[in-house]
Amino acid sequence: MVKAVKVIIISSIILLFSVIIYLKWISINIDQNSNYKIIVVLKSIKQDKSSIWVSIIDGLETAATDFNVKLEVMGPERDSDIFGQIDILESLTESNADAIIVAAADNKRVIPALSRLEEKHIPLIFIDSFSEEVLGQSRIGMDNYTAGFTAGMRAMEHIEKNSLVAILSFIQGSSTAIERENGILDAFGGDMNLIPTFYSGGTIEVSYNQTLKLLNRIPNLKGIITLDNTVTTGAAIALDEMGIGDKVKLIGFGNSLEILGYIQKGIILETIAQKPFNVGYLGVKTALEIIRKGKYSQFIDTGHIVINKSNMFTHENQKILFPVQSR
Amino acid sequence: MKKRSLRTTIIISFSALITSVILILSFSSSYITGNMLNDITSNNGYQAISQLNLIIENYISYMDDMAHVVLSNTNVNRANDNPQEFLSTIISARRDIESIILAYEDGNIYTDNSMDPINKSLNLRKLDWYIYAATIDENGYISSAHVQNIIEDQFPWVISLSREIVNPESREKTGAILVDLNYAVIEELCKNIKLGNKGYVFIVNSSGDIIYHPRQQLIYSNLKTEKIDDVLKNNNMSFKAKVDNQDLIYSSITSDKTGWTIVGVSFLDELNRNRDRVIIVFAFIGMLCFIFLMAISFILSRMITKPIQVLRDSMVRVQHGDFSFSLPALGHYEVAELAYDFNIAIKKIGELIEENKVEQELKRKHELRALQAQINPHFLYNTLDSIIWMIECEEYEDAIDMTTALAHFFRLGISKGKDIISIRSVTDHIESYLTIQKLRYKDTLDYTIDVDPELYEYQTLKLLIQPFVENSIYHGIKNKNGSGQIEIKGYKENNRLVFTVSDNGVGLSEENIKMLESFKKPTLGTSGIGIYNVRQRIKLFFGEEFDVKYTSKLNEGTTVKIILPLILGGKIW
């Protein structure tokens, strides 16, 4: 009798506990609001509506809702405010973020601040722009070498062999610039006559001026390959002004609306575009994988697409190239 | 196997019952409620997308109305007039209309804003909206979402509605009117529809092109798949699908007006979250019920089994022969009845056992009576032998005396079957006995009987004294040389009746006295048996305090003192 009652009491208690555990498990499932916090530090928060950053932020936010992540986007007022970004990164050493996604404003000067974050064992994910040293856990963006290689191959297709071609780069020593240039050179394989590379320093004005000079000095220049947004825009403006868009084939990098406008006008022949939405989306997705599983991939290539006048308005490309602007 | 106690059985069956009932109830109710919640949620979702469909249809109707208004303006049909002012008046009322454009076969394009530079590289005849522009009779052609590139350096996302412009005289197509709805309006509407936290809405047209999808870029990059074909197949029906490892519920509605299908995608796990909440509530309630009911079953089982336990304990007392108690009123009606009946039963049993005891005693007495009867024949044979012998010797006087005494002796001995006789009869009986023996032994035996006449009316058992007299003769005097003297006295002492039988015979050794007084049953057939029976009768009928005492001296004689109660008339027992 006593034994049986004991058995009943014990089994009741076990039942009770298992029910409680089951309920705990369910409520954990239900209460997913207390989730990971990911901080995103961009080059600047006030972005032109036309820039790819609108799509990147869209991708970040979409992933945040998809994966139930608390997202906090911050950054300095302007792109050029590198120290503003460094200040923000330094302040984050005391934050409770589970991961930090960074679009480095400068590939060298941000390194000390980032190292401090890494010492705190906060996972770092780079999107779009990386730091020089391979810091952090993952880098997400376009593979610059293959993109450069594609650009080179496109140029080979449009420009006759052994023509005079100029490469206009932005910042000397920048890893992005070097990788893209290497890709182009490998695609050429010595089949083009190259004019020594120009460096604009990252401003549209300088590249515009450089292009004008170049066109004036080398009248038989057949092609220009520009390595980033600013250089492409500057070169396009120069070509448009001189009205020789069809004589000099311009193949560039970047997908700003300005560049797309020049493609539509026929000034820029082709541009290598990124998939900014995917960069943002995969940034959050990768951060989450690192937080949850601790595994990280060194580099995720978000791919690139070649945009020209005939394919810029296809269904797929429209969505990648043109951000929706609310009025 | 050890049998379970009643209480255990009750608790076990109660707990089994409670557990199964609670489990069934909470499972079924949480299941039903959960499903109801799911239905409500999906119904809400369906209503939301229907609402969205209505709003979009309204927008499209509005765009169509606008197109009609423009077309009804006669200026429009004449390509040479500039309708720009008219267009900008119409559009100024609505911010959600991105632009109104008139495009003519001859290449003239008019927008609502004269400042806008027209994209010169445009080829009208390659544009869907121009080619498929609807006639006046049919529904307007509606494009999917696209980037409008008519105006240079502007790439707004729009949804376009187009109609033909027809020359009223020649009935020929002279151009088309395009009304562009800002796509952000649709996007905003879709984004605002909440289907749980993760659920979303997307729109496809009849050929499966995406009009709106929040993850459109992911789909184009193959980072996400969407069941667009299934949606178009299962028109206006809800279905479940597993996409990218997630269970989704698709519900869709297709508009006749636009040909678009608006699809709501809900995440099953989010839907189930409501059900899980219900499960928590039900499980909690179920647990409370379980604890409560278990407590009740414990108390109830105790209430039922406690009185039964008391009854059982009483039964154990009865088993040990205790009938001297009765139970108090116990528990509830049935058990109280049982206790009442139990009380009656043990009372009856007690009485029966008592009666049984009496009967047993009676039986013993009857046995003894039979033994008494056994004594008589030996004496009878001897006496009859003596009488025969006397007659043979022609001692007729003695023979007559002896026969008379024998007759007297037996009459008194039998005493009409009564066990109780008066002391007078006892005295007479002994006297007749001694008369017979005197006649047999002549001078070797002498006797005196001295019984206080006051005692004559007192009563006692018959055949109590005679065996001692017989003993004195056969064991005391018979073995002695010379004449024997027997003296019998009866008197009152300390309110008791005392008989003494004295002889001057061989006497008894101390060992013999001890042996006689130790009241051991002698072996059957030995001479001690008669005395043993007498003593037993005395003790049985009168109690332990009444007994027989011997005093004796070897070769001088023995005195037996028989102590009996003083009983006057009536029954002895």
Q: Are B202 and B263 in contact (CB under 8 A)?
A: yes
The partner residues of B135 in beta bridges, in order of sequence, read: none
Q: With CB atoms and an 8 Å threshold, state whether B283 touches A23.
A: yes
Domains of chain A (ranges; CATH) run: 37-142+275-303 (3.40.50.2300), 144-273 (3.40.50.2300)
**pLDDT (tens digit per residue) in A20-67:** 777 677 666 555 544 789 999 988 887 666 567 888 888 898 888 888
First vs last Cα of chain B: how many Å apart?
54
**If contacts are CB pairs under 8 Å, which of residues 107-146 in chain B contact chain A?**
119, 121, 144, 146
* Residues A127-136: b if buried by 16+ CB within 10 A, e if exposed: bbbbbeeebb
Q: Is residue B373 part of a domain?
A: yes
B411/B334 same-domain check: no
Q: How far is A277 from chain B (nearest CA, A)?
A: 7
Q: Are B567 and B460 in contact (CB under 8 A)?
A: yes
Which of the residue ranges A116-130, A226-240, B121-135, B268-282 has the most confident prediction, judged by mean pLDDT?
A: A226-240
Three-class SS state of A246:
coil
B557: its two tokens: 């004689």
For residue A321, which of A230, A255, A267, A272 has the smallest C-alpha distance? A255
B158: its two tokens: 């729009």
B328/B435 same-domain check: no
| A178 contact partners, CB below 8 Å, separation of at least 6 | none
Domain count, chain B: 2
Of B119, B197, B287, the CB nearest to A19: B287
Reported residue count of chain A is 327
Residues on chain A touching B11 (C-beta within 8 angstroms): 4-5, 8
What pLDDT, on the 0 to 100 scale, is given for residue A269? 93
What pLDDT, on the 0 to 100 scale, is given for residue B78? 57
What whole-number percentage of chain A has pLDDT above 70?
A: 90
Hey, of B155, B204, B265, which one would you mutate to test binding to chain A, going by the most A CBs within 10 A of its CB? B155
Q: Is residue B374 part of a domain?
A: yes
Can you give the residue range of the structural domain that contains B338? 318-343
State the Cα–Cα distance between residues A241 and A229, nearest whole angstrom. Answer: 18
Residues on chain B touching A325 (C-beta within 8 angstroms): 156-157, 184
Residues on chain A touching B290 (C-beta within 8 angstroms): 12, 15-16
Q: Is residue B519 part of a domain?
A: yes
Q: Is residue B78 part of a domain?
A: no
Q: How far is A111 from chain B (nearest CA, A)?
A: 32
Max CA separation in chain A (angstroms):
109
Question: Between these two residues, A28 and A169, which has the higher pLDDT value?
Answer: A169
**If contacts are CB pairs under 8 Å, which of residues 180-199 in chain B contact chain A?**
182-184, 187-188, 197-198
Q: Is residue B382 part of a domain?
A: yes
B370/B456 same-domain check: yes
**pLDDT (tens digit per residue) in A247-298:** 899 999 988 888 998 998 889 999 999 888 888 999 998 888 888 877 777 7
State the Cα–Cα distance between residues B360 and A157, nearest whole angstrom. Answer: 136
**If contacts are CB pairs under 8 Å, which of residues 226-265 in chain A contact chain B?**
257-258, 260-261, 264-265
B402/B324 same-domain check: no
B422/B324 same-domain check: no
Neighbours of B214 (CB within 10 A): 17
State the Cα–Cα distance between residues B399 and A298, nearest whole angstrom. Answer: 153
**If contacts are CB pairs under 8 Å, which of residues 234-263 in chain B contact chain A?**
none
What pLDDT, on the 0 to 100 scale, is given for residue B1? 47
- The amino acid occupying position A264 is Q
For residue B196, which of A185, A97, A84, A66 has the smallest C-alpha distance? A66
What pLDDT, on the 0 to 100 scale, is given for residue B367? 62
Max CA separation in chain B (angstroms):
199
What pLDDT, on the 0 to 100 scale, is given for residue B484? 86
| Burial class of residue A325, CB neighbours in 10 A (0-12, 13-18, 19+) | middle
State the Cα–Cα distance between residues A233 and A218, nearest whole angstrom. Answer: 20
Q: Is residue B158 part of a domain?
A: no
| B32 contact partners, CB below 8 Å, separation of at least 6 | none
In CATH, what number is assigned to the domain containing residue B516? 3.30.565.10
CA angle A198, A202, A203 (to 5 degrees): 100
State the Cα–Cα distance between residues A114 and A123, nearest whole angstrom. Answer: 10
Per-position pLDDT tens, chain B of length 573: 456 777 888 888 888 888 898 888 888 888 888 788 878 887 888 888 999 999 999 988 888 888 888 888 766 655 556 677 778 888 887 778 888 888 888 878 888 877 778 887 777 777 888 888 877 667 778 888 888 888 887 888 898 888 888 877 777 888 888 899 988 888 888 888 888 878 889 999 888 888 888 888 788 777 788 888 888 888 777 888 888 788 888 888 998 888 889 998 888 887 777 777 777 788 888 888 888 888 888 888 888 888 888 888 888 888 887 877 777 776 677 778 888 888 888 888 888 888 888 877 776 766 666 556 555 677 788 888 888 988 999 889 889 988 998 888 888 877 776 777 889 888 998 998 899 888 888 888 889 999 999 888 888 887 788 888 888 888 888 877 778 889 999 999 888 999 999 988 888 888 888 877 777 766 655 556 677 777 877 877 787 788 888 888 888 888 999 999 888 865 544
DSSP A84-118: HHHHHHHHGGGS--SEEEE--SSTTTTHHHHHHHH
Q: Is residue B440 part of a domain?
A: yes
What pLDDT, on the 0 to 100 scale, is given for residue B573? 45
Q: Is residue B432 part of a domain?
A: yes
B327/B388 same-domain check: no
B365/B331 same-domain check: no
List, in sequence order, the alpha helices (H) in B116-222. 128-131, 183-192, 216-220
DSSP 8-state code for residue B264: E
Tell how strand B239-243 and strand B246-254 pair up.
Answer: antiparallel
State the Cα–Cα distance between residues B323 and B315, nearest whole angstrom. Answer: 10
B329/B360 same-domain check: no
A81: its two tokens: 């405010």
B372/B333 same-domain check: no
B449/B332 same-domain check: no
Which of the listed residues B280, B309, B343 is the one where a domain comes to its end?
A: B343
**How many alpha carbons lie under 13 Å from residue B23 in its C-beta half-sphere?**
9
A28 in contact with chain B, both atoms CB, cutoff 8 A = no
Q: Are B110 and B82 in contact (CB under 8 A)?
A: yes
Q: Are B471 and B529 in contact (CB under 8 A)?
A: no
**If contacts are CB pairs under 8 Å, which of residues 19-58 in chain B contact chain A?**
19
Q: What are phi and psi of B63, to 5 degrees?
A: -60, -40
A22 in contact with chain B, both atoms CB, cutoff 8 A = yes
State the Cα–Cα distance between residues A104 and A135, nearest whole angstrom. Answer: 11
**If contacts are CB pairs under 8 Å, which of residues 543-572 in chain B contact chain A?**
none
Q: With CB atoms and an 8 Å threshold, state whether A12 touches B15.
A: yes
Of B7, B11, B217, the CB nearest to A277: B217
Q: With CB atoms and an 8 Å threshold, state whether B198 touches A68.
A: yes
B338/B366 same-domain check: no
**How many alpha carbons lie under 13 Å from residue B78 in its C-beta half-sphere?**
6
CA angle B383, B385, B387 (to 5 degrees): 70
pLDDT of residue A78 exceeding 80, the answer is no
Q: Are A138 and A102 in contact (CB under 8 A)?
A: no
B536/B498 same-domain check: yes
Hey, of B147, B244, B294, which one would you mutate to test binding to chain A, going by the most A CBs within 10 A of its CB? B147
Q: Are B194 and B178 in contact (CB under 8 A)?
A: no
Hey, of B152, B218, B296, B306, which one would you mutate to test binding to chain A, going by the most A CBs within 10 A of its CB? B218
